[in-house]
Structure 1
């Protein structure tokens, strides 16, 4: 497990500055949440860390290593991402076996069959599903495959971009509990984007509230139910979330 350190992260799209001097420290083995309204810059932070967006300035480190200085293979071994949409993140014409084996082949890892079997078991899927295709799986099963693809390289850090928001409510809890179990068993560091404070309360040790590309406040999980936010926007966001939960 390794910490994530972000210092003065900025990115501009055209004439619009999307992230303004973001600085965060995520402890090794911690689950840290990013919450805020749509367009606040949460997912952009993950895309900068993973270098899917690469036009940013600032410094991002995994452990002692700057992500800009890492070889691609080293960065992929150390850090993986689970995307929001389990339908769009898997190639429709690739079997699950092909999907999982690709990373192993690129990184020249041995015992590929054994690693794929262990990954499937880790996420609670039958080994027989290796020979199925995405359209033959449910949404929850597809997201389990996406998680298996991320963990098969044994990374230190998982970037989770709203990993349950595209799933049925009945499946969301299963996937969240799976992520909790995997973190306890393997010691991952999680950086997790969510718009749902109930998910943050279930998963995260601490979380940052974002607005307009800035970090408004960093809070412990207990602040959701016990109070403690000092910034007006943070108080309003938490209050609105609690009112919604009580209403349903």
Structure 2
């Protein structure tokens, strides 16, 4: 299952009256079915806010968001959970410390009335490279990479069309980051998922994304193909500066 994403004039403000701060003044972009689209930029540029709006975790935005041609505001909550899922940045905070992996994976299956729960849970763990014995482990018994794999399994178990990835590897060791990125790339190739990935790291974009948008102060300065990174093909001054800094950093390693 795969789906397109279309975002038009997405805008949101925090606060009221004269103290209101417009975080997103009107973001627009589209993602093709099966594409991995990156959102990059400095901290506070609005990247994660876009994901929270698309997922309806934050719902007081204006504009239009369509998943597979359906307005997300018109999709019932249970259907929306089957349509899109989100993987959060912190694998330590996104799992309940007192719930076993079995409980974490069984809950969405129970809520949605899906059968063959044991088989689905086992497949989800196998798909993310974990042994089925981990079903009876608790988060404190897992490493950071293993916790993030469980979080990805939880997102996959309802077989969504779109995955929203909010810095899914930034809290992990470098060696584990590569494993998780390769896992996500393999799953997209096998299942045809559509990804929107927030990251600070242009090396991650180069590895994962087909296209990416550079954000500054809540606005998209430029949308570029992945190939623009190597030769710094950006035209907007901030986008050029961001890519140049990344290339210089990579060259020093």
Whether TM-score is above 0.5 comes out as yes
Counterpart check, 1:114 vs 2:119: yes
Question: Any gaps of 5 or more consecutive residues in structure 2?
Answer: none
What is the alpha-carbon distance in structure 2 between the residues aligned to residue 90 and residue 220 of structure 1? 34
- Whether contact under 8 Å (2:46, 2:217) holds in the other structure is yes
User: What's the TM-score once normalised by structure 1's chain length?
Assistant: 0.99
What is the alpha-carbon distance in structure 2 between the residues aligned to residue 202 and residue 92 of structure 1? 32
What is the alpha-carbon distance in structure 1 between the residues aligned to residue 25 and residue 191 of structure 2? 33
What is the alpha-carbon distance in structure 1 between the residues aligned to residue 245 and residue 5 of structure 2? 30
Count the aligned residue pairs: 248
- Could you list the structure 1 runs, at least 4 aligned residues long, displaced by more than 6 angstroms after superposition: none
From 89, 97, 119, the equivalent of 1:84 is 89
Query: What is the SS of the residue equivalent to 2:34?
Result: coil
RMSD: 0.5
Query: What is the SS of the residue equivalent to 1:19?
Result: strand
Offset from partner CA, 1:170-222 (integer Å, 9 cap, x none):
10000000000000000000000000000000000000000000000000000
Query: What is the SS of the residue equivalent to 2:123?
Result: helix
User: What's the TM-score once normalised by structure 2's chain length?
Assistant: 0.97
Query: What is the SS of the residue equivalent to 1:60?
Result: strand
**Aligned-pair CA distance for 1:246:** 1.1
What is the alpha-carbon distance in structure 2 between the residues aligned to residue 129 and residue 237 of structure 1? 41
**Aligned-pair CA distance for 1:245:** 1.0
What is the alpha-carbon distance in structure 2 between the residues aligned to residue 62 and residue 239 of structure 1? 34
Question: Any gaps of 5 or more consecutive residues in structure 1?
Answer: none
Counterpart check, 1:137 vs 2:138: no
What is the alpha-carbon distance in structure 1 between the residues aligned to residue 233 and residue 248 of structure 2? 17
**Aligned-pair CA distance for 1:247:** 1.5
Number of the residue aligned with 1:127: 132
Counterpart check, 1:7 vs 2:12: no
Number of the residue aligned with 1:64: 69
From 203, 207, 222, the equivalent of 1:202 is 207
From 99, 109, 123, the equivalent of 2:104 is 99
